[in-house]
Amino acid sequence: MGFSCGIVGLPRVGKTTIFNALTASEAQVGTFTSASADPNIAQVNVPDPRLDDLGQAFKSKKITPTTLQFVDVAGLVRGSSSGGGLGNQFLAHIREVEAIVHVVRCFDDAAVQHEEGSVNPVRDAETIHLELALADLATVERRLDRAAKVARSGDAEARRLTGALDAVKAVLEEGRPAREAELSPEDWRLLYDLHLLTVKPLMYVANIDENGLAEDHPYASALEALAERENVPCVRICGKIEAEMAALPDEERQEFMEAYGLKKSGLAKLIHAGFSLLNLMTYLTAGEKETRAWTITRGTRAPQAAGKIHSDLERGFIRLEVYSYDDWVASGRDEKKVKEKGLWRSEGKEYVMREGDVCLFRFNV
């Protein structure tokens, strides 16, 4: 699959409770101790009601959703960037994911001691920010030492690399994430193999208790205000409620949500936010044999989208026959009417895929 979100945060903020609910895998809460640095990893289906709709219309034998990978990384602590609490191993796991889901505790519970002695979402978020930034600063300084030596010999690329590293170092030393450095796309490419943590797209999850469902909850509101200042997404999730829901059959789950006044589960919001964070989109294929959702990066052209199904389709691409799911619904869920309205299109190699395209690829190998 290749698209993954790392779930990070301080210890005892509810990361693994949320991971369990996401995956219904019953990963052990508290599994991670100073002796256990292996993350839990799971593929999670991306909720998509369009699939069932198409599957029923086409009488599909099989319906296959697309997936997103979540990695539950052990709790980071102050000093993780300098190796505290097996920090180096935990940070290495974060380097391997494409996006960071930062779970922040937004609930009081006398039975669960807070790492810092009190609940303060903004302080906790900044603690993790600092550890990630310090880890990046150490990475940049190590590379800068090597690059500067080569640059002194007159190597043009090394000089350019040194300039990019200096710019990122200056931002990190101010306590800001590396992504705020103003570099050209070419300079960012020079830094790609550093896998900097604070370049990765980030979102917050406010882990609330039942009181946090109220709009003006002080802890969740404080985190949302921080997210707005940083221009990153923030989703409220009551890990406890979601864990209870995950254990219920589908028909009871809907009743449970209605009892709490929830239109959409927090987990569905999290999965969709993660999808968006990674700049991903979905196209669909539908037929009697199978209706399926496929994940591609926004901006992907038709032949490369076809290649997600099979490399032969990309290599022998002729054209794409396509209509939008919304147009299909507006046409009474009838392909014939989609054609009659002129909404069924034939597209070539330069076509940029759109969210909700229902596709038939024509190819010849």
Per-residue pLDDT of 291-319, as tens digits, reads 999 999 999 999 999 999 999 999 999 99
Q: Tell me, what's the pLDDT at 84?
A: 47
Three-state secondary structure call for residue 172 = helix
How does DSSP classify residue 197? G
Q: How far apart are the first and last CA of the chain?
A: 25
Residues 6 or more apart from 68 whose CB is under 8 A from it?
1, 3, 4, 5, 43, 44, 46, 271, 274, 275, 278, 280, 295
Quick one: pLDDT band at residue 17, thresholds 50, 70, 90? confident
What is the DSSP secondary-structure string of 119-161?
Answer: --HHHHHHHHHHHHHHHHHHHHHHHHHHHHHHHTTT-HHHHHH
Average pLDDT over every residue of 160-173: 94
Superfamily of chain region 4-47+66-128+199-277: P-loop containing nucleotide triphosphate hydrolases (3.40.50.300)
Nearest residue to 23 (alpha-carbon basis) of 7, 1, 2, 3: 7
d(CA 286, CA 116): 52
Question: Is 328:100 a contact under the CB 8 Å cutoff?
Answer: no
Note every long-range contact of 116-120, with CB atoms under 8 Å and residues 24 or more positions apart, other chains counting: 116/10, 119/219
Question: Is 195:132 a contact under the CB 8 Å cutoff?
Answer: no
Nearest residue to 333 (alpha-carbon basis) of 281, 291, 363: 291
State both tokens at 328: 């299909």
Helices 266-277 and 15-23: crossing angle in degrees, nearest 10, is 90
Which of 68-77, 220-229, 243-252, 258-267 is modeled with the greatest confidence?
A: 220-229
pLDDT at 216 over 90: no
Q: Which one of 3.40.50.720, 3.10.20.30, 3.40.220.10, 3.40.50.300 gives the CATH number of domain 299-363?
A: 3.10.20.30
Instruction: Give the sign of the dihedral formed by CA 332, CA 334, CA 340, CA 342.
Output: positive
Per DSSP (E only), the strands in the chain are: 4-8, 40-45, 63-64, 67-72, 99-106, 202-208, 234-237, 280-285, 291-297, 317-324, 345-347, 357-363
What is the rounded average pLDDT for all residues in the chain?
87
Q: Tell me, what's the pLDDT at 31?
A: 37
In the chain, which residues fall in CATH 3.10.20.30? 299-363
Which of 79-88, 210-219, 351-360 is modeled with the greatest confidence?
A: 351-360
d(CA 186, CA 319): 33
In the chain, which residues fall in CATH 3.40.50.300? 4-47+66-128+199-277
* Single pTM value for the model: 0.85
pLDDT tens profile 312-348? 999 999 999 999 999 999 999 999 999 999 999 999 9
Host H or E run for residue 259: helix 250-259
- 4-8, strands of its sheet edge to edge: 40-45, 67-72, 4-8, 99-106, 202-208, 234-237
